Structures are given as C-alpha cells and as structure tokens.
Amino acid sequence: MNVVAIGLDVLREARHRYWLVALAAAITLILIVLGVTLQLDVVDGALASTRLFGAVVGTGDTSADIFFHSVFKATTYVIFYGGLLFGIVACSDFAPSLLSPGRIESLLALPVRRWELLAGTFAGVLSLSVAGALYGAGGLTLVLGLKTGIWSIRPIAASLLASVAFAAVYGTMLVTSLFVRSAAISAAVGGMLLIAGIVAGYRTTIATAFQQGFGRSAFLGFTFILPRISALADASANFASSAADQTPFSPLLAGFLFFVAGMLAIGAWKFEQRDF
C-alpha cells in the first residue's frame, strides 16, 4: 500500500515537470496531425492509395496488412528507442530529488520502510513510462483503425515491451542515484546502459570481431550481465509487425524482469546502508 502511495506521489510531482507535459503534448500533436492529414484508401483489403497532407505518397494494390506491418514495425522502433531516450532525460532527477536534503528526512520519518520508498519511486516512474507508451501506441492504433478498419492490438503490446526495457534502464539509474546523488550522472549512466544494452543485444555477432582469448571472453563476460535492449527492440518490432520469424521472447522478457529485480535489490541494500 505504501508503495502505491509513494508511486502516486511521484505521479503528482510529474504533473509539474515541463518535460513530461511536453512529451504528452508532442504525442497528442503527432496523433492529431496523422488523424487529420493521413488518408488511406483500403479497397477489398488492398491499399489503393495513401495521401499525407493531400499529396499521394503511395499507390497500387499493396496489401493493407503488409503495409501496416511495416508501419507497426517502424512505429515500434520509434516508440522503443525514442521513449527510452526521452525517459532517461525526463526521469533522471526523480531519484536525486527524492534523496535531497530536507525531503528524504521527512520521508524517512513516515512509517514507511526504505525499500518501499525505493520501490514506490520506481513504480511511479515506470507507470509514467507505461502510460506514455500506451498513449502513443494506442493513439496510433486508434487512428489507423478508424481510417482503415484494420485493428491490431500488437503495437500496444509491443509498446509495453518498451516499458520493460525502460524499467531496466531506470532501475540502474535509480541505483546510481543512491551512490551519487546527481541527475546528470544518473542520466549519463542511463545513456551508457542504453548503448551497452544495444551492443549486448548483438553481442555474439560483435564478439566475432575479437579474436579468441581474453579479449573475446572479457567482452562476452561483460555483456552477459547487461540487458539485451536491442534484442528486445527487435523482438517487439517483429511482434508488432507479425513478422514470420517470431522467436519466443518470453525468456528474454523474464531475464529483463530478473535484471530489474536484481537492480532494485542492490538499491535496497545501498539504501539500507546509507545514513541521512
């Protein structure tokens, strides 16, 4: 219960953040523009023509399904990586402000356990991410569905996978803040984890650039523990587009959840140790 209360407190605070308001406005604007300007003529399941701002950008009897698979795939990548980048920047100072002198003492004076404070902050930020992803992907699905009559829940599900990736990144940022109370360092670590996670997703391919021996083993060892962000992005894009090569990604997803839980456990350990 305490976790939920703290999470709601984080959401209340987020309402006053310029960045998050800007994100909501930007998503809304894009959806409105697409809703007003995009004109898709679907005849008997085939895309007869596509108009954007009145100009014809595509003609012919492309199957509407195939067209939407590509659109969903591209959208998933944009939501995935765009959302991650935006989330890293916008949420980097939540944890440092929670730990700021004056505020943390008052929070610790409440009948709340330290790990609940941590989990509540994490849950609050994560719910922001989920809401953003659902709003963007849901809005797009709605626009395309209304215009073509083709409805798919897959882009929405794929956008939730992006939130799982953000959970891994934000969990690390939150733990970083417990070691160094700095929004800049927290964002930098988040950015580095994003890049490292993209590399980790292709680790077995990249490893071949190293010759057998210490270099390759060190690279594989280092990337072994990292969340495979690019692998999850590819999996969610394939899922959204109903691609033929649907490899089961449940172990990957479970791995991310374990990573997040592990990070929060490190955070709880550090939080318990600190004196305020």
Partner 1 sequence: MKLRQRKLGWLFAALLLMVAGAFLMGRGEPSASARHRTVSFPRAPRAEEIRRMRDRQIPTSVVAATHGNPIKSGDPLLAALPRAGKTALVIEANAIRHSPIGELLIQCFAREGGNVFEQARDSSGIDWLTDLDRVAISEEGVIVSGDFKNARWDRLPSWLSGDGSPHSYGSHGVAYSEAFTEAPAEGGSSRPEQALGRWGDQMVVIAKSAGQLRGIFDRLDGRGRNEPPAISEEMTYGEIYGLLTGDALVEFLPGDQIGFIDLLRRAAPRIELHVDTTEDVAIFAHVRGGDRAQLRDLEKAIAGLLSAGRLQAQIGNDTVLQELLDLARVVSRSDGFDLELALPLPFLQKQLATCGHAGAKDAQQPVR
**Least CB distance from residue 162 to partner 1, whole Å?**
16
Looking at 15, 18, 248, 275, which residue binds partner 1 (CB under 8 A)?
A: 248
Looking at 227, 233, 236, 238, which residue binds partner 1 (CB under 8 A)?
A: 227
Q: What number of CA atoms fall less than 13 Å from residue 116's CA on the CB side?
A: 14
**Least CB distance from residue 16 to partner 1, whole Å?**
32
Looking at 70, 100, 204, 246, which residue binds partner 1 (CB under 8 A)?
A: 204
**Least CB distance from residue 226 to partner 1, whole Å?**
8
Decide if residue 60 touches partner 1 (CB under 8 A). no
**Least CB distance from residue 255 to partner 1, whole Å?**
3
**Least CB distance from residue 269 to partner 1, whole Å?**
4
Looking at 205, 244, 245, 275, which residue binds partner 1 (CB under 8 A)?
A: 205
**Least CB distance from residue 145 to partner 1, whole Å?**
32
The number of angstroms, rounded, from the C-alpha of 124 to the middle of its chain's C-alpha atoms is 14
**Least CB distance from residue 261 to partner 1, whole Å?**
5
Contact 185, 92 (CB under 8 A): no
Looking at 53, 151, 222, 269, which residue binds partner 1 (CB under 8 A)?
A: 269
Decide if residue 210 touches partner 1 (CB under 8 A). yes
Looking at 47, 95, 231, 233, which residue binds partner 1 (CB under 8 A)?
A: 231
Decide if residue 154 touches partner 1 (CB under 8 A). no
3-state SS record for the chain: CHHHHHHHHHHHHHCCCHHHHHHHHHHHHHHHHHHHHCEEEEECCEEEEEEECCEEEEEEEEEHHHHHHHHHHHHHHHHHHHHHHHHHHHCCCHHHHHCCCCHHHHHHCCCCCHHHHHHHHHHHHHHHHHHHHHHHHHHHHHHHHHHHCCCCCHHHHHHHHHHHHHHHHHHHHHHHHHHCCCHHHHHHHHHHHHHHHHHHHCHHHHHCCCCCCHHHHHHHHHHHCCCCHHHHHHHHHHHHCCCCCCCCCHHHHHHHHHHHHHHHHHHHHHHHHCCC
Residue with smaller CB distance to partner 1, 1 or 209: 209
Binding residues for partner 1, rule: CB under 8 A, are 115, 203-205, 207-213, 216, 220, 224-225, 227-228, 231, 247-248, 251-252, 254-259, 261-263, 265-266, 268-269, 272-273
